[in-house]
Amino acid sequence: MEREFDVVVLGSGPGGEGAAMQASKLGRSVLVVERYHHVGGGCTHWGTIPSKALRHSIQQIADFRHHPLVRSRMPQIAVDLPALLRSAASVITRQVEMRHDFYDRNHIELMTGTGRFLDPLHIEVAGADGSRTRVAARNFIIATGSRPYRPPDVDFSHPCICDADTILRLDRTPQNLVVYGAGVVGCEYASMFKGLGIKVNLINTRAQLLSFLDDEITDALGYHLRDQGVLVRHNEECERVEAVDDRTVVVHLRSGKQIKCDTLLWANGRTGNTDALALETVGLAADSRGNLAVDEHYRTKVPHIYAVGDVTGPPALASVAYDQGRFAARHLVDPESTHRLARFIPTGIFTSPEISSIGPTERELTAAHVPYEVGRSPFKSLARAQITGHTVGMLKLLFHRETLQILGLHCFGYQAAEIVHIGQAVMSQPGSSNTLDYFIDTTFNYPTMAEAYRVAALNGKNRLT
């Protein structure tokens, strides 16, 4: 029996959810195909949500340990990683229930199974029970996400070797962790596990951590990772991974170094989930990392097939994927739609302390010969930071020397991923509304972290005089 829909969405992560909700609200019949037995995709089940819930639990423990009354009067708390992971699971359950309700209320049908193209207008959904369902649709939106890249010569079936998905299923607390790959995921996990008192080696294949960030922020991250006790090794590449026994692995680096550990986290790149889609049947092909090329409307070269989210490559952010899904659905309903992503998209990196930025860096402004100045607000001078004990970090405003227009902002420290949105809102305003004077003339609640904007703006204005 064949089923028919206006739109079929493959994947129920942020991109798929955004596409499905928007298409339904625009009056289209929608089917969402999800291979996992719950909705939410990798973001909800083994990526963003569980890792950030784990980070929050670790931060709570760290805050408790560092409180003056606890530090002086109580013994150290023994931390059990599996117990922390179980507490994170409750968040996943609530997220899944909420998302199921979204689909029910918007009359969107869900089908569990793996979808693959039969031809440009049909897919087959293979269920875990062996069932096969043929589905026809006018439009398809591929939102199958990505998975950690696994080099073929590394044995991920070994109990000591994990990737960014399987690290969250550990049934023990590591004592000695090697993180191979110092991108966003690698830096986040190195910071988290060090917060548990675990010995961490962070191996960076490049000369600098997160080189897309502002240099001052990058330097601060490197300093504080080392201050926490993370051993950062730059310009190193893996030659091979040796499994000594079922409790020990050795990472052999091309420089000749050998690093022994009880847990290896391989966090060096990701691969788009396109290999099971039978793309060749519709004339599509993914690149070497499994990603699909799309135009500004998220159309593949087959006009009625769209792709959104991680499967299209960078920036590979859940926040971006959701909007891409919405805009793709709008375009397939109305080809004249003008909805686009915002010019500046904030970056959120959940190390400890966390990082967030929006707009160009000092390095980029210098290369473009833009006359800019800098305003800084060190968190150690903010009353709210002193109250919470989170005094590490700063807010940095980059603005045009002549027009005072806000060009970019970079934040390192407590609540950075929240603080950045105030600057984002101001930067998006037209004309003279997005200048340094907004922060100087606006009254902020006191004591708050947002007060950093006023402090940084005044600091920048003083530099001009």
Burial call 392-430: b when 16+ CB within 10 Å, e when fewer: bbbbbbbbbeeebbbbbbbbbbbbbbebbebbbebbeee
- Alpha-carbon distance of 308 to 324, in angstroms, equals 6
Q: Is residue 232 in some structural domain? A: yes
Residue 442 in this model has a pLDDT that exceeds 60: yes
Contact 316, 145 (CB under 8 A): no
Same domain? For 414 and 402 the reply is yes
Contact 305, 115 (CB under 8 A): no
Residue 76 in this model has a pLDDT that exceeds 70: no
Mean pLDDT calculated for residue range 351-355: 95
Please, what is the Cα angle at 179 between 254 and 262, to 5 degrees?
95
**CB 163: neighbour CB atoms within 10 A?**
22
Higher local confidence (pLDDT), 451 or 87: 451
Range in 65-79, 180-194, 230-244, 348-362 with the lowest mean pLDDT: 65-79
Q: Tabulate helix, strand, coil % of the chain (nearest 5).
A: 35, 25, 35
Q: Is residue 156 in some structural domain? A: no
Among 211, 233, 268, residue at a domain's last position: 268
Contact 330, 22 (CB under 8 A): yes
In CATH, what number is assigned to the domain containing residue 25? 3.50.50.60
Q: Is residue 282 in some structural domain? A: yes
Q: Is residue 131 in some structural domain? A: yes
Residue 217 in this model has a pLDDT that exceeds 70: yes
What pLDDT, on the 0 to 100 scale, is given for residue 74?
Answer: 57
Torsion, Cα 355 269 267 66, to 10 degrees, reads 10
Same domain? For 119 and 15 the reply is yes
Same domain? For 62 and 109 the reply is yes
- Alpha-carbon distance of 7 to 26, in angstroms, equals 11
What pLDDT, on the 0 to 100 scale, is given for residue 163?
Answer: 97
Same domain? For 391 and 451 the reply is yes
Q: E-assigned strands of 310-460?
A: 347-349, 355-358, 372-378, 393-400, 406-413
Range in 51-60, 75-84, 278-287 with the lowest mean pLDDT: 75-84
Number of domains in the chain: 3
What pLDDT, on the 0 to 100 scale, is given for residue 432?
Answer: 75
Same domain? For 40 and 110 the reply is yes
Residue 21 in this model has a pLDDT that exceeds 90: yes
Residue 75 in this model has a pLDDT that exceeds 70: no
Same domain? For 459 and 367 the reply is yes
Residue 261 in this model has a pLDDT that exceeds 60: yes
Residue 269 in this model has a pLDDT that exceeds 90: yes
Q: Is residue 341 in some structural domain? A: no
Same domain? For 246 and 220 the reply is yes
Same domain? For 76 and 177 the reply is no
**Residue 5 belongs to what H/E stretch?**
strand 2-10
How high does pLDDT run on average in the chain? Answer: 95
Same domain? For 135 and 9 the reply is yes
Q: Is residue 342 in some structural domain? A: no
Q: E-assigned strands of 198-329?
A: 199-203, 231-233, 238-245, 248-253, 258-261, 263-266, 270-272, 305-307
Mean pLDDT calculated for residue range 87-103: 92
pLDDT band at 310 (very low <50, low <70, confident <90, very high): very high
Among 218, 246, 268, residue at a domain's last position: 268
Helical pair 184-195 and 48-66, crossing angle rounded to 10 deg: 40
What pLDDT, on the 0 to 100 scale, is given for residue 306?
Answer: 98
Beta bridge partners of 200: 177
Residue 431 in this model has a pLDDT that exceeds 80: no
What pLDDT, on the 0 to 100 scale, is given for residue 340?
Answer: 85
Mean pLDDT calculated for residue range 284-306: 97
Residue 162 in this model has a pLDDT that exceeds 60: yes
Among 290, 305, 333, residue at a domain's last position: 333
In CATH, what number is assigned to the domain containing residue 440? 3.30.390.30
- Positive or negative, the CA dihedral 144, 315, 419, 191 is positive
Task: Scan for tokens 């179980």, then name that residue.
Answer: 86
What pLDDT, on the 0 to 100 scale, is given for residue 433?
Answer: 83
- Alpha-carbon distance of 180 to 267, in angstroms, equals 6
**CB 221: neighbour CB atoms within 10 A?**
24
Please, what is the Cα angle at 292 between 290 and 293, to 5 degrees?
140
Specify the amino acid at residue 401: R
Mean pLDDT calculated for residue range 141-158: 97
Closest by Cα among 143, 40, 17 to 95: 40
Q: Is residue 338 in some structural domain? A: no
What pLDDT, on the 0 to 100 scale, is given for residue 72?
Answer: 62
Residue 122 DSSP one-character state? E
Domain region containing 168 = 161-268
What pLDDT, on the 0 to 100 scale, is given for residue 342?
Answer: 83
Same domain? For 363 and 326 the reply is no
Mean pLDDT calculated for residue range 15-37: 97
pLDDT digits (tens, 9 = 90+) for 226-243: 999 999 999 999 999 999
Interstrand relation of 199-203 and 176-180 (parallel, antiparallel or unpaired): parallel
In percent, how much of the chain has pLDDT > 90? 89
Same domain? For 135 and 188 the reply is no
CA atoms lying within 13 Å on the CB side of residue 336: 0
Q: What is the pTM of this model?
A: 0.94
Is the backbone of residue 287 left (phi > 0), alpha (psi -120 to 50) or beta? beta
Same domain? For 6 and 125 the reply is yes
Taking CA atoms, 297 is separated from 22, 304, 330, in Å, by 15, 11, 9
